[in-house]
């Protein structure tokens, strides 16, 4: 059986260092907002080429608290519009509505699944205040053009980097292009903790300071509360483990790229459409997502061959019960994507023979 992602085997590679890191935290007697976190924040900011990283409890909070911080700073107010691709994971949209902002759901580029500049431009209104590009599946969005638009219309840009740690465009990293970048370290992400964790990257000192307060009850100083903050902290244990795993992230990305390149050059089935990669050097292949009109049949074929596949994602956010207000919205391309996508197994520990086997299986698929 080829599993979709074998987290146990991925983390086993680093077990000695991870166990040492956990032991160090246990022995320190300090478990929240300590040296492990500030050290990881420094390493992660460095890695992303940003001035600061602020650790939070998860990726959703990284998005939600950044928008919230902009409200506290006075850059956003209730009802302002945020342009986001309609085919994203629901978290990107929850962060918007949680802040009483209005998500403007736009159709993505059909081949990269990311925001396209044309679709952003045609949806800008006087109420537009934020562009929220999600670097979906590990491919960075067209950030040069997006930042150009942001400058032209004076918009904030919040990059959703939950699937794109280490993705880059012309050497500039995801999370360092926009006004801020939101990351998730959910265990299955390319940089995964051993529990929940997230972070925001930014070069903006004011945003940095507000976020540091918001994640800790709105407090800069113990028992002084400037904002109605939340408890959303990245704990010492997760920070210590993330610090270990960050050292190996670039190696893991290289291994993912080798698998993706093989899929792209060796899969030749006329029944599936392969993902387009616009910025070859910068795609980190969190997911390898093909499209097919025959998803049900292909899934069954894989399953008969003992290959586990997943769908990211089966239902578009605007068709979810949680977003009943949007259920009548027509976004045909987004809906078709949700009906046709299938994610193949990809990971840094897949063997060459696993890759051979998956390629042979898909090339042998017939109706
Ligand atoms: C995983 C993910 C999130 C949320 O991250 P959590 O840490 O699970 O809260 C947000 N956006 C995207 C695109 C994601 O894939």
How far is residue 8's CA from residue 314's CA, in Å, rounded to a whole number? 26
- Is the whole-model pTM more than 0.95? yes
pLDDT at site 280 = 66
pLDDT at site 282 = 85
C-alpha 136 to ligand 1 mean position (Å): 10
Per residue in 67-76, is it b (16+ CB within 10 Å) or e — as a string? bbbbbbeebb
If you take atom 4 of ligand 1, which residue's CA is the nearest one? 59
58 lines ligand 1 (CB under 6 A): yes
Per residue in 282-304, is it b (16+ CB within 10 Å) or e — as a string? bbbbbbbbbbbebbeebbebbee
Contacts with 160 (C-beta within 8 Å, 6 or more apart), sequence order: 63, 88, 91, 92, 132, 133, 134, 135, 182
pLDDT at site 222 = 87
**Ordered per-residue pLDDT tens for the chain, 367 residues:** 999 999 999 999 999 999 999 999 999 999 999 999 999 999 999 999 999 999 999 999 999 999 999 999 999 999 999 999 999 999 999 999 999 999 999 999 988 999 999 999 999 999 999 999 999 999 999 999 999 999 999 999 999 999 999 999 999 999 999 999 999 999 999 999 999 999 999 999 999 999 999 999 999 888 899 999 999 999 999 999 999 999 999 999 999 999 999 999 999 999 999 998 876 678 999 999 999 999 999 999 999 999 999 999 999 999 999 999 999 999 999 999 999 999 999 999 999 999 999 999 999 999 9
137 lines ligand 1 (CB under 6 A): no
Hey, what are 57's tokens? 């409890």
Hey, what are 294's tokens? 């025959």
186 lines ligand 1 (CB under 6 A): yes
If you take atom 6 of ligand 1, which residue's CA is the nearest one? 59
58 Cα nearest atom in ligand 1? 7
pLDDT at site 138 = 97
C-alpha 339 to ligand 1 mean position (Å): 21
- Going by C-alpha positions, the residue among 149, 96, 154 that lies closest to residue 129 is 154
Q: How far is CA 360 from the centre of its chain?
A: 30
Per residue in 136-162, is it b (16+ CB within 10 Å) or e — as a string? bbbbbbbbeebbebbeeeebbbbbbbb
For helices 352-363 and 295-304, the axis angle rounded to 10 degrees is 130
pLDDT at site 279 = 67
How far is residue 136's CA from residue 91's CA, in Å, rounded to a whole number? 12
189 Cα nearest atom in ligand 1? 1
**Radius of gyration (Cα) for the chain, nearest Å?**
20
- Going by C-alpha positions, the residue among 81, 86, 97 that lies closest to residue 133 is 86
How far is residue 331's CA from residue 290's CA, in Å, rounded to a whole number? 20
If you take atom 10 of ligand 1, which residue's CA is the nearest one? 91
Q: Count CA atoms within 13 Å of residue 271 on its CB side.
A: 16
Alpha helices in 194-290 (DSSP H): 205-214, 236-247, 249-266
C-alpha 324 to ligand 1 mean position (Å): 21
Where are the strands (E) in the chain, listed by range?
A: 52-56, 81-85, 102-106, 128-132, 156-160, 168-169, 172-173, 180-184, 198-202, 219-221, 224-225, 288-291, 341-344
CA dihedral (326, 332, 333, 338) positive or negative: positive
């Amino acid at each position: 059986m080829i599993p979709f992602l074998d987290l146990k085997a991925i983390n086993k590679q680093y077990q000695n260092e991870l166990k040492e890191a956990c032991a160090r935290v246990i022995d320190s007697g300090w478990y929240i907002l300590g040296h492990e976190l500030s050290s990881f924040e420094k390493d992660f900011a460095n890695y992303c080429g940003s001035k600061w990283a602020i650790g939070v409890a998860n990726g959703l909070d990284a998005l939600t608290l950044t928008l919230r911080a902009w409200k506290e700073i006075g850059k956003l107010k209730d009802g302002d519009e945020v342009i986001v691709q309609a085919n994203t994971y629901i978290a990107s949209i929850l962060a918007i509505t949680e802040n009483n902002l209005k998500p403007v759901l736009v159709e993505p580029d059909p081949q990269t699944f990311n925001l396209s500049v044309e679709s952003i431009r045609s949806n800008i209104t006087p109420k537009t205040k934020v562009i929220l590009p999600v670097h979906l599946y590990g491919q960075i969005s067209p950030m040069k053009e997006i930042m150009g638009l942001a400058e032209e219309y004076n918009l904030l840009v919040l990059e959703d980097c939950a699937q794109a740690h280490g993705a880059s465009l012309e050497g500039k990293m995801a999370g360092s292009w926009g006004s801020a970048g939101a990351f998730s370290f959910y265990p299955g992400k390319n940089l995964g903790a051993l529990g929940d964790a997230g972070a925001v990257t930014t070069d903006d000192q004011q945003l940095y300071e507000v976020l540091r307060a918001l994640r800790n009850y709105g407090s800069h100083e113990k028992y002084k509360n400037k904002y109605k903050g939340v408890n959303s902290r990245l704990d010492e244990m997760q920070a210590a483990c993330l610090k270990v795993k960050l050292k190996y992230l670039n190696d893991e990305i290289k291994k993912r790229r080798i698998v993706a390149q093989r899929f792209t050059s060796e899969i030749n089935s006329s029944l599936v459409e392969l993902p387009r990669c616009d910025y070859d050097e910068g795609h980190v292949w969190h997911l390898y997502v093909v499209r097919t009109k025959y998803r049900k049949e292909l899934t069954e074929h894989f399953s008969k061959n003992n290959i586990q596949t997943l769908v990211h994602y089966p239902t578009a956010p605007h068709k979810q019960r949680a977003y009943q207000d949007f259920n009548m919205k027509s976004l045909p391309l987004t809906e078709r994507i949700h009906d046709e996508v299938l994610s193949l197994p990809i990971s840094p520990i897949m063997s060459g023979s696993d890759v051979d086997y998956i390629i042979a299986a898909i090339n042998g698929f017939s109706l």
